[in-house]
Chain A
């Protein structure tokens, strides 16, 4: 399925933290083109990509390479010009139940007229056969998980950015998704909040049966969080690198980052991204960039 076979990172033996099974999400032969002022921009041209169940996959890449678009396509929020997306073997043509997208712009994604509790419960309101009490109970559970207990009756305008993103995460989790799509979820918060939110996402991924697809432009964040990092090049999108991060979980905000395997993975990804960027500068009319051997 994958254009590039997944390479084991050479420095360590494969150490999957969870059994990686058949792909839960697979994009195959994706075409996506935009026509702006008569010029056709090709974002995807026969692009293949797959996400294994239970994995934590990060997609990194320069801005405009189509990583957010890929995420939106897989979440059923946009539709491609060609090709197909399969979620659990079923074709995705609208947002499938079981895949939930967490937006980068949490302040635009949160419902400002709803309290924390009402925001978190939003997705449950369209599920039949749930009593008010059990809905509330489930909401409370996830509010506790993201560390917002005591803030149930607050309105978003009374919360910090990091807390708003926690609400968005709890609101997604309460629907018990199989896949959580996170589009640069921490790019708009300060560094310290970001570090605590990274810990939170890791805790959630380890304690719940959820697959995470995480888009970021930050290679460090990607390596630190993920079991696999895919690096995309642009125009049209192509996989520059696909690396398994064989660092054990739970990961430590300080020690993991000084681990030799972490440093090596980071160096490899960064150097390849930079090489791809040099080979294919932004303004040049790009031919398909050289794929790494």
Chain B
């Protein structure tokens, strides 16, 4: 966990190579600006509020979309895990919708929900719900029957078994599902903003590309990278807290 620096050294080396490539004309400087130019442009856009104004709506939709996906996916996954009828009922529809790339149903979502936030949140939720649902389901399926029998012999009512045994036992798998969905949420929110956006980071990047402000395009991409990294870091902290009972901390 502690030994992070070798990874960062590699990042620094890559940036250095990039810088040299642009500076010495190994690549076309117009389409690949120098690292220093990008960072400067990134900083300016942060300072003058242009980037924050795009980060906030993106982040807001991402959080709401993911939140709804958790609220829907977790109970459904639990239900599918403990009840065979529910599983048989929902499995086919899940497996049909799940493989469809989210970009494909954005046009349909626009027809029904317009170009606004509702459509984007819907699309994020739809893309995020399946990894959460399926990981919750497989987490429930992976529970050792001994654990359930322990609850039964200790006189635990059915619903309490679900709440106090099944749910915490599938929590590691459930959290893995949420972590996968977190990445997907970022992708889908940017995609939806590029297709139908008036704000957000996806809109920002596409807008700058259309006006040939290449360094700002890269600044937008850099923001996405940092945002994804930070979101994942926050999530890992939450996960570590919730799974603090696990003896050996799994490498993040």
Q: Which residues of A contact B (CB under 8 A)?
A: 75-77, 94-95, 97, 99-101, 103, 105, 108-109, 111-115, 122-123, 125-127, 155-158, 171-172, 175, 181
- Does B230 make an interface contact (CB < 8 A)? no
Chain B, 128-166, CB within 8 A of any chain A CB = 144, 146-147, 149-157, 160, 164-165
Q: Are B152 and A95 in contact (CB under 8 A)?
A: yes
Given contacts A105-B146, A122-B151, A171-B154, 14 further A-B contacts (CB under 8 A): A76-B152, A95-B153, A95-B155, A97-B155, A101-B149, A101-B150, A109-B147, A109-B149, A111-B165, A113-B245, A123-B156, A125-B160, A157-B245, A158-B247
B171 within 8 A of A: yes
Nearest chain A residue, comparing its CB with the CB of B144: A108
* Contact of B245 with A155 in the complex, beta carbons under 8 Å: yes
B: residues with CB less than 8 A from A are: 144, 146-147, 149-157, 160, 164-165, 168-169, 171, 243-248
CB distance A126 to B156 under 8 Å?
yes
Q: In the bound complex, how far is the Cα of B151 from the Cα of A172, in angstroms?
A: 11
Q: Which residues of A contact B169 (CB under 8 A)?
A: 113
Which of A109, A126, A175 meets B150, CB within 8 Å? A109
B55 to chain A, nearest CB (A): 35
Q: A103-B146, A108-B147 are in contact. Are A113 and B153 (CB under 8 A)?
A: no
Are the C-beta atoms of A123 and B168 separated by less than 8 Å? no
Most chain-A CB neighbours within 10 Å: which of B147, B165, B248?
A: B147
Task: Give every chain B residue within 8 A of A100 (Cβ-Cβ).
Answer: 153-154
Contact A75 B153 (CB under 8 A): yes
Interchain CA distance A138-B152 in the complex, whole Å: 21
Give A174 Cβ to nearest chain B Cβ, in Å. 10
Q: Closest residue of chain A to B168, judged by CB?
A: A113
Choice from A111, A126, A157 contacting B147 with Cβ under 8 Å: A111
Give the shortest distance, in Å, between A157 (CB) and chain B (any CB). Answer: 3
Q: Check if B149 sits within 8 Å of A103, measured CB to CB.
A: yes
B149: nearest chain-A partner, CB-CB: A77
Contacts of A108 in B (CB 8 A): 144, 146-147
A94 CA to B169 CA in the complex, in Å?
23
The reply to whether B155 and A123 form a contact with Cβ atoms under 8 Å apart is yes
Q: How far is the CA of A100 from the CA of B245 in the complex (A)?
A: 26
Query: When the two chains form their complex, are residues A112 and B153 in contact, meaning their CB atoms are under 8 A apart?
Result: no
Give me 17 A-to-B residue pairs in the complex whose CB atoms sit less than 8 angstroms apart, sorted by A's number. A77-B152, A100-B154, A103-B146, A108-B144, A109-B147, A109-B150, A111-B147, A122-B151, A122-B154, A122-B156, A125-B160, A126-B155, A126-B157, A157-B245, A158-B247, A175-B154, A181-B153
Contact B246 A112, beta carbon cutoff 8 Å: yes
Give Cα distance in the complex from A86 to B79, angstroms. Answer: 34
Q: Once the chains are docked, how many angstroms separate the CA of A182 from the CA of B139?
A: 28
A211 to B60, CA, bound (A): 60
Residues in A with CB closer than 8 Å to B150 are: 101, 103, 109, 111
A157 to B244, CA, bound (A): 10
- How many angstroms from the CA of A101 to the CA of B150 in the assembled complex? 7
- B20 to nearest A CB, angstroms? 49
Q: Which residues in B have their C-beta under 8 angstroms from that of A103?
A: 146, 149-150
**A111–B144 CB distance below 8 A:** no
| Nearest-neighbor residue (CB-CB) of A109 within chain B | B150
Q: How far is the CA of A109 from the CA of B144 in the complex (A)?
A: 9
Known contacts A114-B245, A157-B245: A123-B144 contact under CB 8 Å? no
Structural contact, A157 and B149, CB atoms closer than 8 A: no
Residues of A within 8 A of B160 (CB): 125-126
Q: Could you tell me the distance in whole angstroms from the C-beta of A198 to the nearest C-beta in chain B? A: 22
- Name the distance in Å between B70's Cβ and chain A's nearest Cβ: 19
The answer for the CA separation of A112 and B150 in the assembled complex, in Å, is 13
| Set of chain A residues within 8 Å of B248, measured between Cβ atoms | 157
Residues in B neighbouring A123, C-beta threshold 8 A: 154-156
What B residues does A99 contact at CB under 8 A? Answer: 153
Q: Are B146 and A111 in contact (CB under 8 A)?
A: no
Q: Which residues of B contact A109 (CB under 8 A)?
A: 146-147, 149-150
* Distance (whole angstroms) from the CB of B251 to the closest CB of chain A: 16
Residue of chain B at shortest CB distance from A154: B245
3 smallest CB-CB distances across A and B, nearest first, come from A157-B247, A123-B154, A101-B153
Measured between alpha carbons, how far is A100 from B216 in the docked complex, in Å? Answer: 67
